[in-house]
Amino acid sequence: MKLRLMLWLLGLMLKRAQRRKPRFRDALAEIRGLDWGIATEDLSIARHYRMSPKGIETGPGLPVDLDLELRFDDEATAVKVLRRPTQRAFLDGMMAGNVRLVGDSGDLQKLQKLLKYL
C-alpha cells in the first residue's frame, strides 16, 4: 500500500512541477518527452507516466510502449530505493539484482535530470 501511495504522489508532484517550475518545463521541453513506469517484478504494483511538454499523464499498469521501466524485486525494495532516488541507490540495487532496468540507460539519465527539479 505504501508503494502505491508513493507512486500516486509522484504523479501529483510531476504535474505540480510542470505547472510551477520553469526549469522543469525547460528540461522536459529539451528532452521532448519521456514515457516511463515503475513496477514490482510480479506487476502487482505498477504505474506509468507519460511526460511531454504539453502535459503529464499518469495511470495504473505498464503499457508495452514505454521508453523506460524500473522493476523492483518487491515493494520493500522499491520503497527503500525510491525514498532516496540517487544514482548510487539505483546502481547498488542493480548490482545486487534487486532493481532491473528495462530500456535505454540514457533514458534513465534523462529521468534523473528531470527529477532533480522536483
pLDDT digits (tens, 9 = 90+) for 7-66: 999 999 999 999 999 999 999 999 998 999 999 999 999 999 999 999 999 999 999 999
Confidence of residue 89 (pLDDT cuts 50, 70, 90): confident
Residue 105: per-residue pLDDT: 84
CA dihedral (41, 34, 84, 5) in degrees, to 10, reads: -60
Residue 85: per-residue pLDDT: 76
Distance, CA of 113 to CA of 118 (rounded, Å): 10
Domain ranges of the chain: 2-115
Listed residue (5, 44, 36, 6) closest to 107, CA to CA: 36
Distance, CA of 54 to CA of 86 (rounded, Å): 27
pLDDT tens readout for residues 95-112:
999 999 999 888 988 888
Topology adopted by domain 2-115: Nonspecific Lipid-transfer Protein; Chain A (3.30.1050)
